[in-house]
Amino acid sequence: MAAKLVGTVAAGDILGEGPVWNPADRRLWWTDIQNRRLRSLDPNSGQVTDVATPERVGSYALVAGAPGVFLVAFETGLGLLTLADGAINWLERPELGETGRRFNDGRVDRQGRFWAGTMVENSDLAAKDSAALWRTDASGALTICETGVQISNGLAFSPDGRTVYFADSPRQQIYAYDLDPDTGAISGKRLFAQVERGYPDGATVDSEGCLWSARWGAGEVVRHAPDGREIEVVKTAASQPTCPAFGGDGLKTLFVTSASEDLSTTERAEQPSAGDVFMFEVSVPGLAECEFKFAPPRSI
């Protein structure tokens, strides 16, 4: 069965991103990056709740054993955010200051490590390929795993946890790496898919090991087989879909965030749903979102 649109959340985001289904509160969470807020949706009532943040949020993760706490990749670095009072326990801030870069897309691997990439947004301050892919281990320490990146996106992990997918959006390429499940080391970089329509943005993996990749500028989400072939294309009512995530009953709802950023007046009139969240019913369920396993040294 092809994916079927079953609803739209009138979010009106500038840059909606990073949807995550939280089974603890049965809400969909996402970030409106430019408005500096984390948002959540109760699908049953349609209620949307906002949490203001002091910096833009590129991505975030649920934390194992700590309900109400997210590990957040803020624009300058990573910190543990307590949702109830907004308190932040900063871990590391490698982009603090005028670096010309900020943190962007991120996701937790099957072993509980959090991966987040940076992006260049000011070429006057940073070389266009000076962004990187970072890994955060249980201690909270950050390690650079890939360099020479322009805009990090599309982080996702195969069901067995041995393959990591990663996109550098301007290059219109999605890569696959071998992932050592014990050490977190990556190797064997290879081209997984060459993108011909739009630019690869956020991604997720379903229970059959297929990669769902949002295509910024093309108004679609593409499902790739594990060998990279395109096997399904889901059209969205916004030209800038940003990231898909599975949630809802049986993880059979595909939520897709989108952006209205940089659209002209004419394009905004033609796309009244730009910046909204789209919900599709799918036949193949997703996988539960992994949680960050935080085991800090006593000094943190």
Q: What is the tens place of the pLDDT at every residue in 239-289?
A: 999 999 999 999 999 999 999 999 999 999 999 999 999 999 999 999 999
Query: Is residue 299 pLDDT above 60, yes or no?
Result: no
Strand order in the sheet with 277-281: 4-9, 277-281, 253-258, 241-247
- What are the phi and psi torsion angles at 31 (to 5°)? -120, 140
Asked whether residue 290 is domain-assigned, the answer is no
**Does residue 177 belong to any structural domain of this protein?**
yes
- Residue of 201, 249, 262, 276 marked catalytic: 201
Q: What is the pTM of this model?
A: 0.97
Cα–Cα dist 211/82, whole Å: 31
Per-residue pLDDT at 128 exceeds 70: yes
Kindly report the three-state secondary structure assignment for every residue of the chain.
CCCEEEEEECCCCCEEEEEEEECCCCEEEEEEHHHCEEEEECCCCCCEEEEECCCCEEEEEEECCCCCEEEEEECCCEEEEECCCCCEEEEECCCCCCCCEEEEEEEECCCCCEEEEEEECCCCCCCCCCEEEEEECCCCCEEEEEEEECEEEEEEECCCCCEEEEEEHHHCEEEEEEECCCCCCEEEEEEEEECCCCEEEEEEEECCCCEEEEEECCCEEEEECCCCCEEEEEECCCCCEEEEEEECHHHCEEEEEEECCCCCHHHHHHCCCCCCEEEEECCCCECCCCCECCCCCCCC
pLDDT-based confidence at 296, cuts 50/70/90? confident
- The whole-number average pLDDT for the span 67-91 is 97
Q: Does 287 reside within a domain? A: no
pLDDT digits (tens, 9 = 90+) for 132-171: 999 999 999 999 999 999 999 999 999 999 999 999 999 9
Compute the chain's Rg from CA coordinates. 18
What CATH number is associated with residue 172?
Answer: 2.120.10.30
| Domain-located, residue 36 | yes
Spatial CB neighbours of 281, under 8 Å, sequence gap ≥ 6: 3, 4, 6, 252, 253, 254
Q: Is residue 286 part of a domain?
A: no
Question: What would the pLDDT profile of 19-34 be if each residue is shown by its tens digit?
Answer: 999 999 999 999 999 9
pLDDT, tens digit, for every residue of 174-214?
A: 999 999 999 999 999 999 999 999 999 999 999 999 999 99
Instruction: Tell me how many degrees the CA angle 3-8-10 measures, rounded to the nearest 5.
Output: 155
Domain extent for 80: 4-281
pLDDT at 300 over 60: no
Looking at the structure of the chain, the number of domains it has is: 1
**Position 264 in a domain:** yes
Domain contains 296: no
Confidence of residue 298 (pLDDT cuts 50, 70, 90): low
The answer as to whether 87 is a domain residue is yes
| Per-residue model confidence as pLDDT tens digits over 43-59 | 999 999 999 999 999 99
Q: What is the pLDDT of residue 62?
A: 98
Whether residue 262 lies in the annotated active site: no
**211-235 pLDDT, tens digit each:** 999 999 999 999 999 999 999 999 9
